[in-house]
Every structure is written in structure tokens, then in C-alpha cells.
Amino acid sequence: MPAGVMIPARNMPSMITGNGSVSGYGTSSGLTLGQQPNNMMEGQLHPLEMTQNASESEIVRMRDEEFDSTNKSGSENHELGGSGDDQDPRPNKKKRYHRHTQHQIQEMEAFFKECPHPDDKQRKELGRELGLEPLQVKFWFQNKRTQMKTQHERHENTQLRTENEKLRADNMRYREALSTASCPNCGGPTAVGQMSFDEHHLRLENSRLREEIDRISAIAAKYVGKPVVNFPLLSSPAPPRPFDFGSQPVTEEMYGVGDLLRSISAPSEADKPMIIELAVAAMEELVRMAQMGEPLWMTSLDGTTCMLNEEEYIRTFPSGIGPKPTGFKCEASKETTVVIMNHINLVEILMDVNQWSTLFSGIVSKASTLDVLSTGVAGNYNGALQVMTAEFQVLSPLVPTRESYYVRYCKQHAEGTWAVVDVSLDTIRPSPTVRCRRRPSGCLIQEMPNGYSKVTWVEHVEVDDGGVHNLYKQLVSSGHAFGARRWVSTLDRQCERLASLMASNIPTGDVGVITNQDGRKSMLKLAERMVISFCGGVSASTAHTWTTLSGTGADDVRVMTRKSVDDPGRPPGIVLSAATSFWLPVSPKRVFDFLRDEHSRSEWDILSNGGAVQEMAHIANGRDPGNCVSLLRVNSANSSQSNMLILQESCTDPTASFVIYAPVDIVAMNVVLNGGDPDYVALLPSGFAILPDGMTVTDVGMADSGGSSGSLLTVAFQILVDSVPTAKLSLGSVATVNNLIACTVERIKASLSCDNA
């Protein structure tokens, strides 16, 4: 829920100087739950079921006994007078009451905890042990169940009332705040009919609030016995329309709202046998697909990837997980590589969701394990089964992420040979929001000498890619964005990075090489956190809502805000993230070499103010010289300004390249270089994601002189615009950041065009 209405911005850094005028506030809309009277029906004593042979006096006696025993289930033993329906219609005959002994009550209470529904045999056995009739035992258990149900319903009703009042108070607070809001420029009341940047986000929060109220209403209806009354909206919601950012029209653009991942819970007990059966069948299919060649797999026209023959696949695997959904496209590929990692360690990383999502942070934006059906046998992951959710990404706001709900199964097939398979569970729990499902996908891992492993990766998905921007259509449809080659290339590069982290024989001849083992580990760990933070804030994830600033050209800048509070790894305040993606007519390698080179940094980095950039230290973490972590110093041209340090990681593989950096504090970096804890170094990473455009040299003559096609470049900045988390974001600040990123893009285009010429 929204934290409240944001106040006018203050303490703005000197870089952000634009004065955007706040157009005004609308009124938030939300639902409140009416306070319900406590009309929960008390549990009724169960009617007695007597046989025809029982006498009337026996019926009266046994009913009285059970009524008494239920109300005396605690430690009370005093007499009760009859009342209400329990009064004998014959006033002259005194009613007899039978009280269970403390021992009988304790024994039945203990049995109730183990088995609340005893059968006839159990009732007879318990009655024989306690000296009671089976019917007495039966009625005691019936009344005890009614008593427990009543207590549970009272507790649930209390919780619902508390949450109901909280929601109502929150909505009233927002309504009062909006009604008294004033313009930060003139001090007058805000103009109704125009929407501020912050109110836009407030409306989104209110829509989520309405969903939460509907959920609580459904729960209340279940326990109270009738629907909770929905009060009308505090104000009618304004129709969706463009809102004004100065002179630029801005429209909301949201890639999904995470309905799939939010709505999924752990599987039920009834689902588990079907999940296990599906996982076993998927494992068999994966191993066969990994080992088969033609005609199942065909080499692509450019000779770089193996593509699936769909007709042959249907003939080879007729059962599968069902036909392809209407409107979905098939993406399937296979790739093999040898990586510098022991096969056991590789299996452990794949089966640990945190290590797996960290290793593939450029592909996996978020992931979680919902349930562990099996942890494996013999102390390893052989036979391990996990139900998971994950969101897969391309580092650009122009490509929607892909949500998936699936089971992951690990199995050892022979000595030194393992396989890990994923398969979607949509057939067990269908969802109309599913836009991507994983057919059996994963990898076959084989042990190699000297601690290496041979990995054969199969990636097979069916997806609705209608939301992909035209710039990325070719890259996605060719399979290069999410395919097997992307996975194994990332795995190979990350294995090299881990090997460099463990290396101890560092040559000392080169200037600036960090040889201190503790310092290397701390700096690499800090750089890893920087990369993960960057990757988590660039894509069109369902966790983020981008607002599009429509520029004068084809390039659109997407912006979003985050509030940072009590996060030691991020400076406190309001952080503005801005990102844009565009095409360049030069090869990805040329773009990567230009951006990572400290000597050409002044050509595009506006924040360095034209100062010379010098590399102070670096750690090589791969065979390619472009894979390294560097510590850069900006020597400002203005002697009155203190020098600034920049932590930068550049990494490249055949499918993607990244240059990610963040300003760092000198004192904090000295601690890190001496082996100190890097988790408390505050970072706001910015940088670049460089991808091939998916075209070949035969496509429309778009190749450069190097013989390769163009590049897709994503530029992303994270900037602290106010150090007070509760401050209101100035629209002028947004415009300034927009101009900053647009100017950076123009400088890059100009430099690379001159270089290309």
C-alpha cells in the first residue's frame, strides 16, 4: 500500500536543477470494508442420535451427560442447573447430571488432538478404557468439534475486523491528504483534472488495495456466512488518459502486474503425485533430446544454433504436456559447451534457487522455491524435486519478462552424469494469465578431467511474444534472447569468474593488479551485488511499473521511482531509474570496447565533467580481456572539486555484453580493498547492456565494415534525486534526468558514428 502522499522535494542534489511544476492531484480511489456486527453463530451442540431400543430415561441421561462434559472440559467440576431445552418437561422429576471425571476429560482431550474423528472401533476402545458408553464418547467428540469450530470462527472474525478498520483508516488518511494538498510553486490548492507523477503511482497502489479488499471480502463471506458489504468508492476514478509532463505527453505502460506469480501457492497434497509423474516423464524426454541429433535437431542457416524440427518432435514425443496453446510460438534450441567447474558443484548451484538466480542474474530477474517435494538421497541432490516460480528477462524495458511456474527435478543417471530438468505445471493448475510455459528444458552434465564439466543445454518454451517491441523482435524470435546459447554462454563466463575468485597464484608484475586475496574477494563480491542490482532494475519486470516519456525521436525513455529506507546497500531517499534502448549500426564488440575503455569515457560520461579517467586497480575474471572489475578515478578539471572513484565491471560473451558502474566512497573502498565487508557500501549502479540485433549480414545490408550486424544498446541510470524518502518527486527532476540520458545517448551515437565512418 502507498506510504502516503509525498511532500514537495527538498535537499535536491545540485545536478538536478529543473523546476517542474506539479500539475495537481486528483483524488484516490479505494474500497473500504464495512464493520460487520459480530453475528457469528455460536456452535450448537450436536443432536443426539439414539437407537430405537434406548429408553426415554436413558436418552435424557446421556444427553445431559454430554452437555455437562462439554461445558466442563476444563478444570471446573461444580454443579450446573438445567436451563432452556435441557429442562425435563416433567417438573416433579429431578434431573440427574453426570460429570466426566478429570481423568476421562484429559484422556479424551489427548485423543482429540491426535484424532478428532474417531471411528466406531476407536470409540468403543476409548469408552472401555474410560468406563464410558460408546455413545457418550461419540457425543463428547461431536460437541468438542463444534466448540473448536466456534473458537476458530471467532478468532478469524476478530482478525478480519482489525484488518478492515486498518484499510478504512488508510483510505481516509489518503483522502484527507489529497483534499488538503497544495501546489509547491504557488502555495494554492491543486487543480483538479491534472495528475502528478506521484499520484499516478498512488492510483496504481489503490488498484492493488481494491484487489486486497476483494480477497478479504471473500474470506469474510466464507466465515461470516454472508458477503461483506462493499462501500462505494471514496471518489470516482478518473478515466485513463495521458497526463502532462511539461510539454511532453506521457502515457502509462505496464508489462503485466505479476498476477501469475502472486496468485501461485505451494501445491496441494493431491497435486504432488501428478507433479512427480510429470517430472519423471520430463526427465526422460530431456535426456533423449540432449542426446539426439538429426532429424530432431537441425542446424540454423547461419550455422550458429541447433533448431528443433517441430514435426519430428511431435512424432518422437507424442504424449508431451499437451498441444501448443493458440497464438503461442515455439522457441527451442540446444547448445553444448565445456565449463571450468566440477559437475557436483554445478548441480548444487542449479538446485539452490539463490545461487542459481545470482549466477544467471542477466537472465533471471527473480525466482523462488514454493515447495520441496524431495531433498534427494545419499546426501546429494539425486532425486531432488522442487516446485518453483521464476521470471526470465532481457535487459531492456522494451521486452516483457516471462513468468513461469514449474517443477525442477535432478537425477544422477550414471557415475559422473547428472541431469536437471524444468517443466511447467500449467497442465495441473491452468491459469488464463500464462504467457509462457516451459516444455522439458534443462541440462545434461557430464564429468570431465581436471575439474571441468561438459554441459548440454536444451531450452524449449512456448510463448506469447506479442508485447515485444519491434526493435527486439528479430533477437527474440531467433532464439538468441532466451535460447540455450544464451544460457551456456552466461554459464561459461560465470564459471570463469568464480574460478578467478578462487585463484591464489596471481601474477604481481602488472601495475594495478589486486593480489590481496581477501581484498579480491571483497571487491568481486561488491561488484557482483552491483551487477545484480543493475539487472534487477532495467527489464520490464512485473515488479516494476515504467512510465514512458515520449521523446521527439524513436527513442523513448522509461522512468520509475523507488524509495530506499533502511537498506545498507543503497543510499536512503528517492531513487529515480531511467532507461532507454536503441539500435546502433555497429557491432556489439565495437560498442563494448568503446564504453569500457576509460580513455574514451569523457566522450559520453556527462557526470565526469570532462575530467580524465584513470584506472587505479583491476581484477581480471575471464579469458577475454574485457571481463574485469576495475576501480577508476575521475580527475576533475576543476581543482576545487574532490576526485571521485568509480567501481566498474565489464563482462562479455558471444551473446551479450555489459558495462556496469557506480560511484563509490573512497573510505568505503579502502575498507573493501583490505578485505572488509562490502555489504555496507551504498551503491546506485548505472550502465549499459549490449546485445546483437539478431540479424545476419545478409539482412537488408545492415552490416558494418567488420562483417557483423548492428547492436541493441540499453542505457540505464539510477540517480538519487532526494535524500528524504518521504519527499515528493519534482516533475522538473524527471525532466532533467530525461535530458541527461538523452544527451548521453546522443554523445554515444555521435562518437560511434564518427568511429564507424
d(CA 719, CA 575): 6
674 and 649 in a common domain: yes
Q: Indicate if 717 and 655 belong to the same structural domain.
A: yes
Q: Are 666 and 645 in contact (CB under 8 A)?
A: yes
Least confident of 24-28, 142-146, 728-732: 24-28
Q: Where would I find the beta strands (DSSP E) of 26-91? A: none
Alpha carbon distances (Å) from 126 to 109, 110, 130, 133 = 12, 11, 6, 9
Q: What's the pLDDT at 509?
A: 52
Does 583 have pLDDT greater than 80? yes
pLDDT at 660: 95
Q: Is pLDDT of 668 > 80?
A: yes
Instruction: Say yes or no: 420 and 326 in one domain.
Output: yes
- Amino acid letter, residue 632: L
User: Among 466, 501, 536, which residue terminates a domain?
Assistant: 501
**Structural domain tally of the chain?**
3
What's the whole-number mean pLDDT along residues 210-237?
Answer: 46
As a whole number of angstroms, the distance between CA 562 and CA 621 comes to 32
One-letter amino acid of 260 = L
The domain boundary, picked from 480, 501, 522, lies at: 501
pLDDT at position 57, please? Answer: 46
Are residues 457 and 582 in contact, defined by beta-carbon separation less than 8 angstroms? Answer: no
Between 713 and 553, where is the model more confident? 713
Contact 616, 631 (CB under 8 A): yes
For residue 661, what is the DSSP state?
E
Same domain, 601 and 734: yes
- At residue 392, the pLDDT reads 92
Distance from the Cα of residue 696 to its chain's centroid: 34
User: Looking at the structure, do residues 401 and 322 belong to the same domain, yes or no?
Assistant: yes
3-state secondary structure of 28: coil
Q: Provide the pairing of β-strand 441-447 with 417-424.
A: antiparallel
Between these two residues, 609 and 703, which has the higher pLDDT value? 609
Kindly state whether residues 684 and 664 are assigned to the same domain: yes
pTM of this structure: 0.64
The CATH number covering residue 595 comes to 3.30.530.20
Give the C-alpha separation, 305 to 297, whole Å: 10
Residues 170-197, mean pLDDT to the nearest whole number: 63
Per-residue confidence at 547, pLDDT binned at 50, 70, 90? low
Please say whether the beta carbons of 357 and 528 come within 8 A.
no
Please write the tens of the pLDDT for every residue from 413-467.
988 999 999 999 887 776 667 788 899 999 999 999 988 999 999 999 988 888 8
Q: Are residues 493 and 521 in the same domain?
A: no
- Residue 593 binned pLDDT confidence (cut-offs 50, 70, 90): very high
d(CA 366, CA 370): 13
Residues near 42 by beta carbon (within 8 Å), at least 6 away in sequence: 150
Q: Which of 6-15, 25-34, 171-180 has the lowest mean pLDDT?
A: 25-34
**Residue showing cell 580513455:** 599
Q: Residues 659-688: what's their mean pLDDT?
A: 88
Q: Which domain holds residue 485?
A: 270-501
The whole-number average pLDDT for the span 131-138 is 89
Q: What's the confidence (pLDDT) of residue 230?
A: 37
In whole angstroms, what is the distance from residue 547 CA to residue 482 CA? 25
> What's the first-to-final CA gap in the chain, in angstroms?
53
Single-letter amino acid code for the residue at 114: E
Mark which of 155, 174, 195 sits at the end of a domain: 155
Chain-centroid distance of CA 348 in Å reads 22
Give the pLDDT band (50/70/90) at residue 17.
very low
> In what helix (H) or strand (E) does residue 578 lie, and over which residues does it extend?
strand 573-584
Q: Is 446 helix (H, G, I), strand (E, B) or coil?
A: strand
- Report pLDDT digits (tens) over 459-472: 999 888 888 888 88
pLDDT of residue 169: 84
Instruction: Please report, for the domain that includes residue 114, its CATH number.
Output: 1.10.10.60
Residues 525, 490 share a domain: no
Measured CA to CA, the distance from residue 517 to residue 508 in angstroms comes to 12
Going by C-beta distance under 8 Å and a sequence separation of 6 or more, which residues neighbour residue 568?
679, 680, 682
Q: Which residue has the higher pLDDT, 725 or 197?
A: 725
- The reported pLDDT for the residue numbered 446 is 95
Same domain, 662 and 609: yes
pLDDT at residue number 187: 58
Closest CA to 47 of 138, 183, 160: 138
> Looking at the structure, do residues 582 and 462 belong to the same domain, yes or no?
no
Average pLDDT for the chain: 74
> Backbone dihedral region of 303: left (phi > 0), alpha (psi from -120 to 50 degrees) or beta?
left
Q: Is the dihedral of CA 79, 84, 85, 91 positive or negative?
A: positive
31-73 pLDDT, tens digit each: 233 334 344 333 443 433 333 344 444 444 554 554 444 444 4
Task: State pLDDT tens for residues 101-118.
Answer: 888 888 899 888 888 889
More confident of the two residues 76 and 175: 175
